[in-house]
Structure 1
């Protein structure tokens, strides 16, 4: 009934800091695993993280083209996350009709 399996999912995240970009990407791990698995998930444990792509986009802004100039940064990451999953296989559960 209870099964253990490993899976690797690719997730993307964006944020105005590096930490927010990584946190956004890691928040998408659960949803990616749930989409690919028909089982009821009990536990998802990340084992390894590999950075596939990490980018920073810099935009220059100014008020009325001359005043209050500043640079705005947007970070984006793409990660491969290896996870160990504990799940309940619903096919192995016997339901008794009443």
Structure 2
């Protein structure tokens, strides 16, 4: 009934700092695993994280084209996360009719 299996999911995230980009990507792990598994999930444990792609986009801005010049950075990452999943396989549960 209870099963353990390992899976690798690819997630991506964006943010105005490196930490926010990684946090955004890691927040998508649970939803991605839920979509790919037909079982009832009890526990999802990340085991390994590999960076597939990390980018930074720099935009230069100015107020009225001349004043208050600044650079805005947007970070984006794409990660391969290996997770160990503990789940309940509903196909192995016997339901009895009353």
TM (norm. structure 1) is 0.99
Aligned length: 98
3-state SS, counterpart of residue 31 of structure 1: helix
3-state SS, counterpart of residue 4 of structure 1: strand
Counting only pairs closer than 5 Å after superposition, residues 49-60 of structure 1 correspond to structure 2 as 49-60=49-60
TM (norm. structure 2) is 0.99
Alignment partner, residue 15 of structure 1: 15
3-state SS, counterpart of residue 24 of structure 1: helix
CA-to-partner distance for each residue in 1:36-87, whole Å, 9 max, x for gaps?
1000000000000000000000000000000000000000000000000000
Runs of 4+ more than 4 Å apart:
none
Alignment partner, residue 75 of structure 2: 75
Which residues of structure 2 form unaligned runs of 5+?
none
Computed over aligned residues only, the root mean square deviation of the Cα atoms, in angstroms, reads 0.4
- Give 1:4 deviation, angstroms: 0.2
Alignment partner, residue 48 of structure 2: 48
Structure 1 CA distance for aligned equivalents of residues 97 and 69 of structure 2: 71
Which residues of structure 1 form unaligned runs of 5+?
none
